[in-house]
Structure 1
Amino acid sequence: MFLAGIILKGLDGVAELIGGLMLMLGDPALVHRFVLRLTQPELAEDPQDFIATHLLHASGTLTGAGVHYAALYLLAHGAVKVVLVTALLANRLWAYPWTISVLVAFIAYQLYQLAVSPTAGLITLTVFDILVVILTWHQYHRQLERRNTATEP
């Protein structure tokens, strides 16, 4: 479960990097047209689709400073995730406490967002992040135990 959760976090980080680059380099109207093309088949099938309608709404409200903030947020968020997931997959011991700390910070921000405007997607993301923190904590202690056992005479 730890490996699956970490890989999902890494893929999420890559998606955030791509999204951040699209926002940074692209025209907001172009991004909106891309999201419209992406969501059109789903909306034709189900006009009330939760994810598609929210993506479409979010892309339609992108303007000026909001675009730059969203791009920088996604780039930073994605880069941190990709670096930490890469280090975890390489079994770097330092990455475990860093991952836990970063995810706890993300969770704190998400809890604030939930208090302001709760959504099912944010609740799901927060629960997933909490699960990943627990699994990372458990795996970190297993790694420490293995290293201590290997160094004992």
Structure 2
Amino acid sequence: MTNPKTAPAAGPTSPTLLDRTFQVSLILKGLDGVLELVGGILLLVISPAQLGAVARVLTQHELAEDPHDLIATTLVRLAGGLSVSATLFGAVYLLAHGAVKVVLVWAVLANRLWAYPWMIGFLIVFIGYQAYRLAVGFSCGVALLTAFDIFIVVLPWREYMIRRRR
């Protein structure tokens, strides 16, 4: 009889680095979805004028040190130019995107097989939108998010194929 403390790790049942990466990336996607929900709610309850005032308060120290700071001046300019319709669109977008992301991440973490193809399809649609955004005007943030989403599509696909075989 083998002592459980000295027994070798069970090959395919012990989580690999890729399995742990999948779990961590799912959790990150879920947290991102929660943040999108919070952001969407905030956009619904805070007026565009209030958003502009918050942006000015948050950037005033940086702009006092460097009045030409790219990030701070861009943030103040964007927040100051928000309309009610743009804010509403942003709120609806964030709420819908965040809700879908949270539900799909929860379902995948709960081992619901139906959620894998939905998550993959949802991410592919979003990657397509991000690719359009990159074609219209390049952004490092969107490029990094797109690369992360492509990586996230590969991991659920791998996991889905493994679970389907079982």
Q: Specify the alignment match of 2:147 in structure 1.
A: 127
Q: Specify the alignment match of 2:28 in structure 1.
A: 8
Q: How far, CA to CA, are the matches of 2:49 and 2:112 in structure 1?
A: 42
Question: Quick one: which of 71, 87, 93 aligns to 1:67?
Answer: 87
Where relative contact order (Cα < 8 A, 6+ residues apart) is larger, the structure is 1
- Give the CA deviation at 1:45: 7.3
Would you say 1:137 and 2:137 are equivalent positions? Answer: no
Q: Is the 8 A contact 2:36 2:94 kept in 1?
A: yes
SS at match of 1:92: coil
Change (3 A) 1:45 1:139: farther
Q: Which runs of 5+ in 1 are unaligned?
A: 149-153
TM-score norm. by structure 1 comes to 0.83
For 1:104, give the aligned amino acid.
I
User: Residue by residue, what CA displacement relative to the aligned partner does 1:45-94 show, whole Å, maximum 9, x if unpaired?
Assistant: 776464x5554443222112111111111111111111111111111111
For 1:20, give the aligned amino acid.
G
- Give the CA deviation at 1:143: 1.6
Q: Paired residues, what number?
A: 145
Change (3 A) 1:39 1:10: farther
Q: Is the 8 A contact 1:103 1:133 kept in 2?
A: yes
TM-score norm. by structure 2 comes to 0.77
Between Structure 1 and Structure 2, whose CA radius of gyration is higher?
2
Please identify which structure carries the higher helix content: 1
For 2:53, give the aligned amino acid.
R
Question: Identity of aligned pairs, percent?
Answer: 51
Q: Which moved further from structure 2: 104-113 or 24-33? A: 24-33
